[in-house]
Amino acid sequence: MTISQEIAKRRTFAIISHPDAGKTTLTEKLLLFGGAIQTAGAVKSNKIKKTATSDFMEIEKQRGISVATSVMTFGYNDLIINILDTPGHKDFAEDTYRTLTAVDSVILVIDCVKGVEAQTERLMEVCRMRDTPVIVFINKLDREGQNPFDLIDELEQKLNINVRPLTWPVNMGADFKGVYSLLEQKLYFFKANKTKVEEDVLEINLQDPVLDQKVGQRDARQLREDVELIEGVYGDFDRQDYLSGKIAPVFFGSASNNFGVRELLEAFCDISPEPIERNTSVRIVRPEEPKFTGFVFKIHANLDPRHRDRIAFLRICSGKFERGKFYHHVRLDKNLRFSNPVSFMADSKNVVEDGFPGDVIGLYDTGTFKIGDTLTEGEDLQYVGIPSFSPEIFKELINLDPMKSKQLEKGVQQLTDEGVAQLFTLQPGNRKVVGTVGELQFDVIQYRLEHEYGAKCRWVTMSTSRACWITAEDPKKLQEFIRLKGNQVGFDKDANPVFFADSDWMLRMNQTNNPDIQFHITSEFKVLA
């Protein structure tokens, strides 16, 4: 099979949402409908003991939230589908933003009760920056929620995107009877089964009197009116508008009860994009190019706690990746080979012989990789748009057990390599400072340090509110600035100087008083330098 044929089979997408909208549950049901699992787990349930496949970390199982992006690959309808389930909580937004650089499209989950929430708007801003194709799944239709037309209007107003419903609910809440597919002209009735697939499908013309018998005269009349209004207002669905990010198709359902998931999956297979071209520091790389390239967008330490393994997640962008072949690590300017690359089902891994554009593979890593690293067959290029952001909360790490200093040092180094928190060193005293975008990250790091590395710590909150990487065209002026600012300047893990400001006012004052110094709020300057 040629590279072009392999590319045509790949679909790589992320599922994003505000916390508790049902993102991880939808991921689980897509795996169930795709045949990747036989019984669906649950994020929070007293009756269902199996946890969600994508929530494999112990802290995720305990708290019922996703704290890290997980990757799941399965086959469906002759396609190879890669799902990236992302954290919804704003404290883990940086992991989600970075994951969006590694996918070709997105499924956005909306809670029909709560509608569009703040984190949803921020995630959509990132999608619009890249014109990422978006499919909307309005979830929890088995609950009493907002009117479907009100939800559609809210999507367009708050997310600044045109929408086009492709399925439509028959009632909602206690009277929810199923969904009607406008594409297939089929009515799907579902039983409320949270773990197995059970469905009843009726292919029907909406004017057929049988519809009245199946759903009742009132609901049949309402469905006919709604569909007529949709067809009149929104017109025909244009796939090209979806692929260019101009329009978002909308599906309705209840992931926990298997309502509407198959229709979503079938339509996704039909309309979603194949792997797309990507920007690098020197040129645009197209997926069908014969030579392999790819970039690391995520690193996870202790994916299997029993083996203390560290995995770099690599998105293949062009060419063919082959097991055991040497590839060029651009940042280190050295050639590496990988004898055991793996594919994923969350924390389960299988060794693969090869990979193609769109695939996400895992590379066992001994500290060689950093977020954003590029592998090629020799060409010196760097994929761009995968920055680390300036943290918003800073805390000093205090060791509670001097006998475990080595374990603590190793643990904090490896956990901050994952990219969801950043490690800085301040003088005097070689003090370790961790910066994150949210408070919850500190709880996760503290928990993982204790349970994965046997090291206990506590946090001391700092007054710092902003941290910026600093550079200058004249090295002497940079060194003079560092000397004068003393304890306001630290260094990141790559020994790049970082200026710590107690307030935005202090940052602006230093920028004004030091015109020769450049202050950077993301690490993208390292790639572009």
Encode pLDDT of 84-94 as tens digits. 877 755 655 66
Mean pLDDT calculated for residue range 179-193: 81
What is the CATH code of the structural domain delimited by 393-528?
3.30.70.3280
Please report, for the chain, how many H helices and E strands are present, in that order.
15, 31
Q: Enter the pTM of the model.
A: 0.80
pLDDT at position 242:
96
Encode pLDDT of 221-241 as tens digits. 999 999 999 999 988 899 999
Fold entry, domain 6-72+105-271: Rossmann fold (3.40.50)
Query: 131 phi and psi, to 5 degrees?
Result: 55, 40
Q: Which stretch of 119-133, 136-150, 316-330 has the lowest confidence by average pLDDT?
A: 119-133
- Give strand pairing partners of 236: none
Domain ranges of the chain: 6-72+105-271, 278-376, 393-528
Encode pLDDT of 301-351 as tens digits. 776 666 567 889 999 999 999 999 999 999 999 999 999 998 876 456 788
First to last CA, the chain: 40
Angstrom distance (rounded) from CA 449 to CA 464: 24
What distance lies between CA 49 and its chain's CA centroid?
26
| CATH superfamily label, 278-376 | P-loop containing nucleotide triphosphate hydrolases (3.40.50.300)
Q: Which stretch of 189-198, 276-285, 360-369, 410-419 has the lowest confidence by average pLDDT?
A: 189-198
Name residues whose C-beta falls within 8 Å of residue 528's C-beta, 6 or more positions apart in sequence: 281, 384
Average pLDDT, the chain: 85
pLDDT at residue 273 above 80? yes
Query: Fold identical between 6-72+105-271 and 393-528?
Result: no
pLDDT at position 414:
86
